Structure 1
Amino acid sequence: MRTLTEFMKTTLVGGFLIVLPVYVSLLLLAKAVQGLLALLKPITAEIPTSVEYRQILAIFVLAAVCFIAGLIVRTGPGLRAQEAVEEALLERLPGYRLLRGLAGRLTGQADEAAFKPALAEIEEALVPALIVEELEDGSYTVLVPSVPTPMAGALYILPPERVHPVDVPFTVALSVFSKWGSGAGEFVRAMQAAKASPVPPSSA
């Protein structure tokens, strides 16, 4: 009887651990789709109701608008206008700089030092983190993202000896955060490899 109870308990917990991440992922996807549909409302309102698949067409229209906007900001006047709008408005929006930095790293358009993956020593733990910037005194501002989304988290200012930059691709780091820490061994192996690398002798 005890074996049967133990079997049922472990099976139930195992199933829960499978269903919960799937549910959370679907919930986040539903929220993202809901936000996208709200963004597309002004566009879909202009499309005649007789047109089939209005929302899909609206997505293509939005993609075309984004592409054209991207072409414009590649020009000198467009870049200056973008910088002016960012400074006057967008920089004041909470989370804008983080989203811009993350998008820049994903597309390879941001500085490699921005949001560099690292392991941070916080209390007695090694915590996967992203380096936001290096301060004048050599300390680091680091973001410890929450899971399963790196769009929020906690900020720390730590001395350099407690921050260990790791040679891990940015996409791998995001995958670790989005998968509830699965694959975090990549961070540890990269830190160990960096410590094992011989330090080149300094020239006299």
Structure 2
Amino acid sequence: MVNRFKDFFKSSLMAAASVILPVLLLIFLFEKILITLERLATPIAQALFPAQFLQTPHAMKLAIILIFVLLSMLLGFIAQTEKGQKVGRWLEEKTLGHFKMYHVMKEFSERLIPSKTNKLFEPALLTRTDEMNALVFIVEYLDDERVVIFVPGVPTAFSGNLYVVPRLDVKILDVPVMDVAKVYSRWGVGYSKIIKTTNTSSRLQGIERSRMN
């Protein structure tokens, strides 16, 4: 009994550390980046804006924010170039690339934005013959009338399991991706709201079709 408790405590502590440490590192790096940007932007602001303007309350902060936005747009433009992508991948490999959780969060966040290279995580309801339903995400459609689904874990929606199920076993939900993720992070709270919203939307669509006919 004692050994089981020790193993459970050890595994729980390691799992928590794998999540918390990368987050703390991101916060630390973000803070350092802000401090560095402020040091770089201050002389630029002093050179671009009149001294009288910078002496007004919060003027320096507004100027720094404006410069930060412009620099972000410039970096975003550079990041879209081939050389910029190579530099970005190199920096990623040398820093955050060593953390597994970073790759998980990056992949999940990229899936939230549809593009030519990835597909949107489609919220869906998995319906099974044993009447045990589950909120899932459709990851990919296969050619044999099956789909790959991702079933998040509780309370971390960034980790879970992948399954291949028949297309008829899943019902696409007309709800935002983050609403489903919040249900898992809140231990199921909000599930009824999603189902009610989906049922209401389905009824409205049915009424609209009947009117058109």
TM-score bin (small chain): 0.5 to 0.7
Pick aligned residue for 2:146 from 134, 139, 145: 139
Amino acid at match of 1:35: P
Pick aligned residue for 2:155 from 137, 148, 155: 148
2:78 corresponds in structure 1 to 72
1:19 corresponds in structure 2 to none
2:31 corresponds in structure 1 to 56
Q: 1:165 to 1:70 in 2, by over 3 A?
A: same
SS in 1 for 2:144: coil
SS in 2 for 1:149: coil
Q: Which has the larger radius of gyration?
A: 2
Matched residue pairs, number? Answer: 155
2:171 corresponds in structure 1 to 164
2:137 corresponds in structure 1 to 130
Identity percentage of aligned residues: 25
- State whether residues 166 and 190 of structure 1, in contact with CA within 8 Å, keep that contact through their aligned partners in structure 2: no
- State whether residues 146 and 165 of structure 2, in contact with CA within 8 Å, keep that contact through their aligned partners in structure 1: yes
Question: Aligned-residue CA RMSD in angstroms?
Answer: 4.5
- For residues 99-158 of structure 1, give each alpha carbon's deviation from its aligned partner in whole angstroms, at most 9, with x where no partner exists: 33421255x455795211111124421101111111112211111100111121121111
Larger helix share, 1 or 2: 2
Amino acid at match of 2:106: R
More displaced 10-residue stretch of structure 1: 96-105 or 113-122 = 96-105
The aligned runs of 1:163-202 (5 Å cut-off) are 163-193=170-200, 195-196=202-203, 197-198=205-206
**Structure 2 regions of 5+ residues with no counterpart?**
1-11, 38-67, 91-98
TM-score in terms of structure 1 length: 0.55
Query: Is the counterpart of residue 120 in structure 1 residue 107 in structure 2?
Result: no
2:42 corresponds in structure 1 to none
More displaced 10-residue stretch of structure 1: 109-118 or 131-140 = 109-118
